[in-house]
Structure 1
Amino acid sequence: MTRRDIGALLFDKDGTLFDFAATWEAWAVRLLAKLSEGDAARAGFLGNLIGFDVDRGKFEADSFVIAGTPDELVDVLSPEFPFLSRTDLFTMINEEAANAPMAEAVPLAPLLQRFAVQGLFLGVATNDAERPALAHLDAAGVRGHFHFIAGSDSGFGAKPAPGQLHAFCNAVGVAPGRAVMVGDSTHDLIAGRAAGMWTVAVLTGMAQADQLEPHADVVLPDIGHLPGWLGLP
């Protein structure tokens, strides 16, 4: 099967549709300030727990937050907040996430319209929760371009397991071998391979090309290069 037979594209959200650092480093600064109630030392301690350097305002390359789920973040932070229930902490994290300043990796609307004109089915599979994912797509004005949107709490599991990917293929009626998983992390690509999909890596997240290449059919600078790889007119 050739790339010209591809009928569906499934995108990760953070680091793929949106630039990871520009979006989530600002979110981490705000979340840690809120959780620490302005105590700089406390914010630094919490930042270390989640792999975020508060002084530099940067995630460490190996931070679990980069490809993780809100539940994993709650698991790590919850022991530090015995007065907060897991539900309250999860809600706080998602409220801050929904208000994160999203920076499009490339201008999304014209690119997604270009895919639509070619009859491609489009979807989003993110390890973020569904509520902030929908808020981010709404804020960018592109939610309507997608036939399927799933977060880690949508009932299909989270990457690197392939549940979201299988659900997408079932929802749009395209066999996995004719679908592409596009992402910026090994979680995305491992899930894609497990689902039997093509895998495309992009470099708008935190991972380097040499980390992604073993799991990808191709590594592209960003999703704006997809039309060329697909051979679209």
Structure 2
Amino acid sequence: MIHAMIADDDALVRLGLADLLDGDPDIEVTAQAANGLQAIEQATAHRIDVALVDVRMPRMDGIAATTRLRALPHPPKVITLTTFDLDEYVYNALAAGADGFLLKDTDPAEILRAVHLVAAGSAMLHPAAARRVIDRYHAANQPRTTTARARLKRLTPRERDVLARLARGDTNADIATHLAMRESTVKAHVSRILTALDVTNRVQAALLARDAGLTP
């Protein structure tokens, strides 16, 4: 069972997401929050596997909340929600440790898929929005390129192959198929990659790979 939390200041959005998630037999909405501070309190009081966090909330926004959630002793995975695919805060949310982001008008089936993927350790980014947000900020942050390329030198050639597929959004199963590897081997490579690159999740690894020019 995946224990989920919904953090959004719009009561109707919370209700709609709760109905959607509770309709999945493998997901249980364990907690809800109307702002970032409540999200931290709920995640501290309950076991939360995946938190769906709105970017714009009162008292504490989704970016700050994501940072605090990821710093908890038993941190939940975080999916950032936003109404705007070019919201300037989305990139910062991913950098803060979010495992992905979705637009609020994302197809319900994709939202459920995202919760399952993120709970299993993968990432889920809205494809079109992710591409534009990353491109926009990559251009404004060229110094990142030098740092990113230096970190990539810590990886073996095989690890770079795995990272390239990961940065394209492939799941562990996809990577195993493309690179003719066992899925368990892929998981081991991903774990070593995260450690070597000094990042906390797949999204940050993917951003670093793109900053380094490993993927187009």
Question: Is this a same-fold pair by TM over 0.5?
Answer: no
TM-score, structure 1 normalization: 0.31
Q: Which has the higher helix share?
A: 2
TM-score, structure 2 normalization: 0.33
